[in-house]
């Protein structure tokens, strides 16, 4: 089987998919899955096109970085053992940060990788793992062309104003500006919009990508005009373990009064806060929704409140609100979160239908809702496969 291998490497997980290139890239993978729990007890789970499921433990030890390497080696061994005729013709990767240099997918080589190494400090939870996966494929399969697809690229259509921070010009000129992330997800959902909301897809649309990382994007005519994430993937919404927007004065206070250094602050902002920090129980929305603890309730309430506040802000950036779309693990599956966000956004004309919402229907707006409300499952891997095939087709 000739296939494109798609890799989406996160801080503790490695998502993968194989998309057959023949007879046509139909958009559905022959095999997809992930290795989760890298750094603790990594487990591989996958399912094939026939619905068969696979689960196995992954042997990995040592530091997080060593475990990532072990996980990749395990994945390649597993893929070839399960697909004896597998012929990987290309690899497509999610690369979180493309900075100002990369505003479209690009074929990866050592020079491009060196540019991308420069963005590691801007996305410490993602970029090093993304690039490690590219280099591992290059070592194992040196002849396989590889394509990088950037989370930041979709947002390069934003007006300069939406990308600006109120910093001195010299610092802004160095590239300290708002980039925005989850662009592969927004691009995928934006392409689906006309089928789901018709003409309104040309108007003011807000997409809420609520996963482990969470952000929102305002679109006009299908193009990004503003987003909640900025220079790094920590700004904006409250997330699984990330703070989202925080008064910068809090950081100065913690440095001055508590003696916290860069490492401690990075841990605090990226790993110890968000749903996990506020609840003290879990970063997993499923666990929090199932819990009776007051702290779990407070974490979910704050998560929804922050989304509703940002909806107001993005509606201002988009000049209105014609449609609100939920996607990502939480957006697609957590009906109580959608309900709470909709209630807080009633003043903007958002009303949802309780039974459609409970059933995770594609359209969940009530008949009298002024704003269309939709649930569109995202497919970052499918988007990467499409970009990869398109780019390589044009390269030859």
Ligand X SMILES: Nc1ncnc2c1ncn2[C@@H]1O[C@H](COP(=O)(O)OP(=O)(O)O)[C@@H](O)[C@H]1O
What residues are labeled active site?
A: 151
According to the binding rule CB under 6 A, does residue 151 interact with ligand UVW?
Answer: yes
C-alpha 353/C-alpha 365 separation (Å) is 5
Is 8 annotated as contributing to ligand binding?
yes
Between 206 and 371, whose beta carbon lies closer to ligand UVW?
206
151 or 187: CB nearest ligand UVW: 151
Peptide bond into 166 cis (omega under 30): no
User: Nearer to ligand UVW by C-beta: 151 or 381?
Assistant: 151
Fill in the per-residue mask, 61 to 90: x = in contact with ligand X (CB under 6 A), - = not in contact: ------------------------------
Contacts to ligand X from residues 312-351, by CB under 6 A: 328-330, 333-334
Site residues for ligand X, window 117-176 (CB under 6 A)? none
User: What is the DSSP secondary structure assignment for residue 272, as one 8-state letter?
Assistant: S
Q: Which stretch binds ligand UVW (CB under 6 A): 133-141, 169-177, 205-213, 263-271?
A: 205-213
CB 49 within 8 A of CB 63: no
The answer to the question of residue 290 lying near ligand X (CB under 6 A) is: no
Q: Which residues have CB under 8 Å from 347's CB, separation 6+?
A: none
**Do 189 and 252 form a contact (C-beta atoms < 8 A)?**
no
Of the residues 82, 286, 343, 370, which one makes contact with ligand X according to CB under 6 A:
286
Q: CA torsion sign, 186 to 184 to 64 to 244?
A: negative
In sequence order, the β-bridge partners of residue 20 are: 3
Q: What string marks each residue from 84 to 123 as x (binds ligand UVW by CB under 6 A) or -?
A: ------------x---------------------------
Closest CA to 97 of 113, 77, 109, 75: 113
Contact 196, 362 (CB under 8 A): yes
Question: What is the C-alpha to C-alpha distance for residues 170 and 75, in angstroms, rounded to an integer?
Answer: 45
Instruction: Specify the residue, 151 or 310, whose C-beta has the smaller distance to ligand X.
Output: 151
The option from ligand UVW, Mg ion, ligand X, none interacting with 151 (CB < 5 to 8 A, set by class) reads ligand UVW
Residue 380 annotated as part of some ligand binding site: yes
CB of 208 to ligand X, least distance (A): 12
List Cα–Cα distances, 24 to 5, 19, 250, 355, in angstroms.
Answer: 15, 10, 53, 38
- Our finding on whether 285 is near ligand X (CB under 6 A) is yes
Residues in 227-256 at the binding interface with ligand X, rule: CB under 6 A:
240
Cβ proximity to ligand UVW: between 93 and 182 the closer is: 182
Helices (H) and strands (E) in the chain, counts: 15, 13
- Binding residue for ligand X, selected from 128, 213, 236, 274, defined by CB under 6 A: 213
Site string for Mg ion, 185-224 (x = CB under 5 A): --------------------------x-------------
94 is in an annotated binding site: yes
- Give the shortest CB-213-to-ligand X separation in angstroms: 5
Which region among 73-81, 208-216, 347-355, 360-368 touches ligand UVW (by CB under 6 A)?
208-216
Q: Alpha-carbon distance 87 to 21, whole Å?
A: 10
Q: Which of 127, 357 has the CB closer to ligand UVW?
A: 127
End-to-end CA distance of the chain: 21
Give the whole-angstrom CA distance, residue 346 versus residue 234: 27
Counting every residue, how long is the chain?
396
Query: Whose CA is closest to 9, among 90, 122, 95, 80?
Result: 95
Bridge partner residues of 372 (DSSP):
323
- Structure tokens of 147? 């394509």
Residue closest to 17 by CA, chosen among 109, 129, 93: 93
240 binds Mg ion (CB under 5 A): no
Enumerate binding residues for ligand X (CB under 6 A): 10, 211-213, 240, 284-286, 289, 328-330, 333-334
Enumerate binding residues for ligand UVW (CB under 6 A): 10, 96, 126, 151, 181-182, 211-213, 233
User: Binding site for substrate: which residues?
Assistant: 94
């Amino acid at each position: 089987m000739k296939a494109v291998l798609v890799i989406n490497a996160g801080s503790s997980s490695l998502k993968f998919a194989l998309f057959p290139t023949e007879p046509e890239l139909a958009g559905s993978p022959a095999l997809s899955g992930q290795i989760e729990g890298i750094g603790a007890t990594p487990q591989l789970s996958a399912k094939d096109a026939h619905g068969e499921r696979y689960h196995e433990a992954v042997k990995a030890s040592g530091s997080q970085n060593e475990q990532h390497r072990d996980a990749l080696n395990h994945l390649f061994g597993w893929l070839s053992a399960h697909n004896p005729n597998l012929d990987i013709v290309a690899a497509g990767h999610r690369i979180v940060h493309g900075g100002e240099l990369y505003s479209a997918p690009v074929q990866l080589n050592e020079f491009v990788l060196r540019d991308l190494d420069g963005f590691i400090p801007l996305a410490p939870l993602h970029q090093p793992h993304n690039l490690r996966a590219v280099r591992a494929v290059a070592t194992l399969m040196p002849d396989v062309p590889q394509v990088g697809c950037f989370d930041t690229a979709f947002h390069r259509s934003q007006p300069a104003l939406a990308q600006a921070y109120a910093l001195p010009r010299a610092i802004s000129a160095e590239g300290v500006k708002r980039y925005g992330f989850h662009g592969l997800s927004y691009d995928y959902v934006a392409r689906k919009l006309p089928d789901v909301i018709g003409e309104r897809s040309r108007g003011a649309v807000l997409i809420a990508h609520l996963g482990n990382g969470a952000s929102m994007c305002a679109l006009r005519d299908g193009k990004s005009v503003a987003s909640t994430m900025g220079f790094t993937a920590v700004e904006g919404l409250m997330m699984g373990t990330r703070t989202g927007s925080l008064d910068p004065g809090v950081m100065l206070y913690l440095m001055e009064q508590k003696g916290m250094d860069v490492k401690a602050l990075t841990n605090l902002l990226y790993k110890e806060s968000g749903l996990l920090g506020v609840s003290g129980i879990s970063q997993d929305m499923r666990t929090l929704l199932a819990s009776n603890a007051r702290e779990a309730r407070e974490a979910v309430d704050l998560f929804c409140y922050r989304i509703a506040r940002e909806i107001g802000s993005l509606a201002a950036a988009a000049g209105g609100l014609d449609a609100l779309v939920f996607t990502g693990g939480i957006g697609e599956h957590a009906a109580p979160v959608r309900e709470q966000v909709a209630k807080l956004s009633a003043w903007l004309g958002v009303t949802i239908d309780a039974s459609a919402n409970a059933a995770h229907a594609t359209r969940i707006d009530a008949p009298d809702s002024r704003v269309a409300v939709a649930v569109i499952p995202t497919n970052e891997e499918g988007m990467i496969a499409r970009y990869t095939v398109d780019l390589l087709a044009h390269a030859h």
